[in-house]
Structure 1
Amino acid sequence: MSTFRFIHAADLHLDSPFRGMANVPEDVLGRLRESTFAALRNLVALAIRENVDFVVLSGDIYDAADRSLKAQLRLQRGLAELAEHGIAVYIIHGNHDPENGLKASLQWPDNVFVFGSAEAECRIARRRSDGEQVAAICGVSYPQQAVRDNMALRYRRLAGSDLYHIALLHANVDGNRNHDNYAPCGMRDLLASGFDYWALGHIHIRQVLHREPYIVYPGNTQGRSVKETGAKGCYIVTVNERKETSLDFHPLDDVRWFAQDVSIAGAGTEQALLERLEAAAETVREQADGRLAVVRLTVGGRDALHARIEGSALLEEMLQHLRDNESMRPESGGAVWFDSIRVQSGLPLDEEALLTQDSFLGEYFRLAGRTASDPELCEDVLREALAPLLAQPKLGPMASRAAEAERDDWLRRARELAAVLLAEPDESGGNAR
């Protein structure tokens, strides 16, 4: 067997709607909504430029089961371009785009093979230069959105074949809690299969779970929220004549998401804090490397300045100032959109001393600590505080989900707000006593 190369990508989520973003200018929103297609174009260009032999796409090619016609036509165009260069493409569908979703009747290029959902099957991949058989590619698509059985157990190597075996699987390996537990399987299931490379999809964080054999999540090709920060793209995988495997990551994203922390410690004044926020914006711009950057700023640390931040509109006004400044920048160079700004700062308290004090604030901090460490007590406190919202048919489910996601931050904010309202500043306006 001679050396060959292929691209492993997953979770393209074509035509993702990017809902729920407030006060976003039309040009930025348009760039966001086009970003998954831009990542697809970048993938096609990369495959051609790097002269790979084939491409594997491990599920969630589309963002919704009922694929938009726009997404299907854009994919058709990209795959046709790959066909012109003789690059084969092997596809499985995942929970976002299962086989039973609505789709148009389109003519796909001959270089494309889409695995069905009835059973795991294998196709032979060839090197483009001479047509030599180099790999057996196996896969199975989701028949419907929620697949709960262990699909990895369906995969079998071709009997008597010495080809390099690649398995395409859209699954949650070893129960990642941040993703739906679809097609759950264990690492040992994959290791016992005899496959040389598991081309995984579903988890949007890039990670190599195992080497020899390789078990790989490439992450998604384009981040879609502040929960998906950093470079997004694909792997180019090189396999030599001894079946030794190497991976090279290539970014494909057109928009990059950032979560940037800014400390108020030692700032003292609004001017100093604003300058730190502006410096953070420039750091993000450099790291985005010419892309549109979407950033959530988080103000942390401890300083007396926090008393003027907590409960005021100061940070929102600074956020708008940053947006106004950005709108006046020349178009050359990467742009930054400031999505939001969060408060995680506090007064410069001596917490250890405060916890021993026989005072209302000391007792409050002790109660907050017990609540944070006791899930049942925490749930009771939040349920009581949110009772009016939870009783509303439409708002109740939203409030419940928000409480689960933001519980720790809400408790911390409540504690810091109490410190602002109840603590007495010392003569310097710093530590509470």
Structure 2
Amino acid sequence: MRAFRFIHAADLHLDSPFKGLSGLPETLREELRESTFAALDRLVELAQAEQADFVLFAGDIYDAKERSLRAQLRFQQALRTLAKHGIRSYIVHGNHDPMLEGYAAKLSYPPEAHVFGCGKVESVVIQATDGMLLARVSGISFDRAAVTDNLTPGFSGQGDGLFHIGLLHTNVDGDGEHGNYAPCRLSDLLGRGVDYWALGHIHTRRVLHERPWVVYPGNIQGRHIRETGARGCFVVSVSEQGEAELDFHPLDVRRWETAEVPIDELETEQQVKDALEDAMEAAKAGAQGRPVLLRLTLVGRGPLHGRLRRSGFLPELASMLREASDGSWLESLADRTGAPVDPVALAEQSGFLGELLRLSGEAGASAEMLEDIGAESFAQLEMNPLLASLLAEITEEERLAWLREAEELAIDLLLPGIEARRNE
């Protein structure tokens, strides 16, 4: 067996609309609109630089089943460029770009590019330019967006001694932050004669198992604040003995990051400003030379809490920080601070505030109770289809953050009255 190298990428989401960013400068909005294409260009350049034998695309090439013509043409050009340099491509479609739904232009791909069908698992043998057999790739595409069947039973070993790669778009072990499409268990992937599972669908980079390898590379460009950190692909080198070595390469053009700035030891507005500027510089320094879209959150308890809650304070501070930024952009500035009190001690007291804090604590410790409170609170909003779709995307972490903010608001509103009555 000859040593070889391949690239494993997934979830390109070409021509993603980047919704909800109307407050950004036009130049930045345009750069974000082009960022998925720029990340694809970097992938093609990486494949050439690494002298990869082939590239795997594990689904969701496009952002929506009504894929734009521009996205399809740009992907076609990428495949042609790879082929021109002797690099083959192997592609499956996922839930965002199913084969039999939506708009697909009739475009010709180079013969070096192979798209796996959706009827059953196909298996192809990869040959080097000198005719030597390198590996076997088996894969299957989604025929429709909502595939709920486990597709892993169609994969099996071939007994030919070749390094076997399974190319699949799937949700392993029911990741709650992504749609449960083509669901399977990790145990379903093991013992099927596959040496490397090249997966797509989960946007966070993960290695779920080694030997056999079960790998999500994540998406190639973060698209919102929940997709923080480096985004890219894996370069996989396979030795003559069939041992794989993985090397992650970032491809993203703009990087999303979050950071918390505690106020516990701060006493003046100048100190707050300095701390926020330090956090922005730290995020920029850690982004490998990429400009950052940063969400900063003020946290902790201290005497500055009351001044931060003054009308207009945070918007004015955020505006100043944006004006002073160089290349990076402050996506938002949030206040999650609290008054300099002990909320645990308050929850132990009798009275309305104590009871409210005890109930909030119980809700925060129970995912089911938190969901029930949210369902009751949002019932009227969910009557609007647009709002209902937005509420459906709210994570448990976001619900918990809202609950904590409500706690602090209750303390701010009720505690002064309680203390005034005590002092009478």
User: Deviation of residue 59 (structure 1)?
Assistant: 0.5
Match of 1:336 among 318, 325, 328: 328
Q: Secondary structure at the match of 2:183?
A: coil
In the alignment, the residues of structure 1 paired with residue 103 and residue 256 of structure 2 have an alpha-carbon distance, to the nearest angstrom, of: 31
User: Deviation of residue 359 (structure 1)?
Assistant: 4.3
User: Deviation of residue 363 (structure 1)?
Assistant: 3.1
Map 1:85-234 → 2, pairs under 5 A? 85-100=85-100, 101-128=102-129, 130-158=130-158, 160-234=159-233
User: Deviation of residue 394 (structure 1)?
Assistant: 5.6
**How has the CA–CA distance of structure 1 residues 401 and 312 changed in structure 2, closer, same or farther, with 3 Å as cutoff?**
farther
**How has the CA–CA distance of structure 1 residues 396 and 179 changed in structure 2, closer, same or farther, with 3 Å as cutoff?**
closer
Give the aligned partner of residue 354 of structure 2. 362
In the alignment, the residues of structure 2 paired with residue 316 and residue 306 of structure 1 have an alpha-carbon distance, to the nearest angstrom, of: 15
Q: Secondary structure at the match of 1:90?
A: strand
**How has the CA–CA distance of structure 1 residues 299 and 59 changed in structure 2, closer, same or farther, with 3 Å as cutoff?**
same
Map 1:228-307 → 2, pairs under 5 A? 228-307=227-306
Q: Which moved more, 1:70-79 or 1:385-394?
A: 385-394
The amino acid across from 1:353 in the alignment is A
In the alignment, the residues of structure 1 paired with residue 120 and residue 395 of structure 2 have an alpha-carbon distance, to the nearest angstrom, of: 41
User: Deviation of residue 322 (structure 1)?
Assistant: 0.9
TM-score (normalised: structure 1): 0.91
Give the aligned partner of residue 72 of structure 1. 72
In the alignment, the residues of structure 2 paired with residue 127 and residue 258 of structure 1 have an alpha-carbon distance, to the nearest angstrom, of: 41
User: Deviation of residue 421 (structure 1)?
Assistant: 2.3
User: Deviation of residue 381 (structure 1)?
Assistant: 4.9
**How has the CA–CA distance of structure 1 residues 77 and 299 changed in structure 2, closer, same or farther, with 3 Å as cutoff?**
same
Per-residue deviation, residues 59-101 of structure 1 (Å, max 9, x unmatched): 0011111221101111111111111110000000000011013
Q: Which moved more, 1:53-62 or 1:356-365?
A: 356-365
Structure 1 residue ranges without an equivalent (≥5):
330-334, 428-433
The amino acid across from 2:321 in the alignment is L
User: Deviation of residue 111 (structure 1)?
Assistant: 1.0
**How has the CA–CA distance of structure 1 residues 398 and 206 changed in structure 2, closer, same or farther, with 3 Å as cutoff?**
closer
Give yes or no for contact 1:52–1:87 (8 Å, CA) kept in 2. yes
The amino acid across from 2:153 in the alignment is L
User: Deviation of residue 118 (structure 1)?
Assistant: 1.1
Map 1:12-27 → 2, pairs under 5 A? 12-27=12-27
Give yes or no for contact 2:11–2:218 (8 Å, CA) kept in 1. yes
Give the aligned partner of residue 430 of structure 1. none
Give the aligned partner of residue 84 of structure 2. 84
Per-residue deviation, residues 334-376 of structure 1 (Å, max 9, x unmatched): x111111222211121233222223443333223223434566
Match of 2:364 among 367, 372, 377: 372
Give the aligned partner of residue 414 of structure 1. 406
The amino acid across from 1:71 in the alignment is A
In the alignment, the residues of structure 2 paired with residue 366 and residue 207 of structure 1 have an alpha-carbon distance, to the nearest angstrom, of: 38
In the alignment, the residues of structure 1 paired with residue 162 and residue 227 of structure 2 have an alpha-carbon distance, to the nearest angstrom, of: 36
In the alignment, the residues of structure 1 paired with residue 21 and residue 84 of structure 2 have an alpha-carbon distance, to the nearest angstrom, of: 39
Q: Secondary structure at the match of 1:272?
A: helix
The amino acid across from 2:302 in the alignment is D
In the alignment, the residues of structure 2 paired with residue 82 and residue 349 of structure 1 have an alpha-carbon distance, to the nearest angstrom, of: 61
Give the aligned partner of residue 346 of structure 1. 338
Q: Secondary structure at the match of 2:404?
A: helix
The amino acid across from 2:225 in the alignment is V
**How has the CA–CA distance of structure 1 residues 399 and 83 changed in structure 2, closer, same or farther, with 3 Å as cutoff?**
closer
Per-residue deviation, residues 92-124 of structure 1 (Å, max 9, x unmatched): 000001101311111211210001111111111
User: Deviation of residue 300 (structure 1)?
Assistant: 0.8
In the alignment, the residues of structure 1 paired with residue 384 and residue 147 of structure 2 have an alpha-carbon distance, to the nearest angstrom, of: 33
User: Deviation of residue 164 (structure 1)?
Assistant: 0.6
Per-residue deviation, residues 371-427 of structure 1 (Å, max 9, x unmatched): 4345666556556655654565665665576597732222211111122223349x9
Give the aligned partner of residue 422 of structure 2. none
Q: Secondary structure at the match of 2:296?
A: strand
Q: Secondary structure at the match of 1:288?
A: coil
Give yes or no for contact 1:390–1:400 (8 Å, CA) kept in 2. no
Structure 2 residue ranges without an equivalent (≥5):
420-424
Give yes or no for contact 1:310–1:417 (8 Å, CA) kept in 2. no
Per-residue deviation, residues 306-325 of structure 1 (Å, max 9, x unmatched): 12223632112111111111
User: Deviation of residue 256 (structure 1)?
Assistant: 0.6
Q: Secondary structure at the match of 1:301?
A: strand
Give the aligned partner of residue 332 of structure 1. none
Sequence identity of aligned pairs in percent? 49
**How has the CA–CA distance of structure 1 residues 400 and 206 changed in structure 2, closer, same or farther, with 3 Å as cutoff?**
closer
In the alignment, the residues of structure 2 paired with residue 181 and residue 15 of structure 1 have an alpha-carbon distance, to the nearest angstrom, of: 23
Per-residue deviation, residues 35-59 of structure 1 (Å, max 9, x unmatched): 0001100000000011111111100
Give yes or no for contact 1:260–1:280 (8 Å, CA) kept in 2. yes
The amino acid across from 2:236 in the alignment is V
Q: Secondary structure at the match of 1:345?
A: strand
In the alignment, the residues of structure 2 paired with residue 54 and residue 392 of structure 1 have an alpha-carbon distance, to the nearest angstrom, of: 47
The amino acid across from 1:115 in the alignment is F
**How has the CA–CA distance of structure 1 residues 260 and 123 changed in structure 2, closer, same or farther, with 3 Å as cutoff?**
same
**How has the CA–CA distance of structure 1 residues 16 and 394 changed in structure 2, closer, same or farther, with 3 Å as cutoff?**
closer
The amino acid across from 1:167 in the alignment is G
Give yes or no for contact 1:168–1:198 (8 Å, CA) kept in 2. yes
The amino acid across from 1:356 in the alignment is E
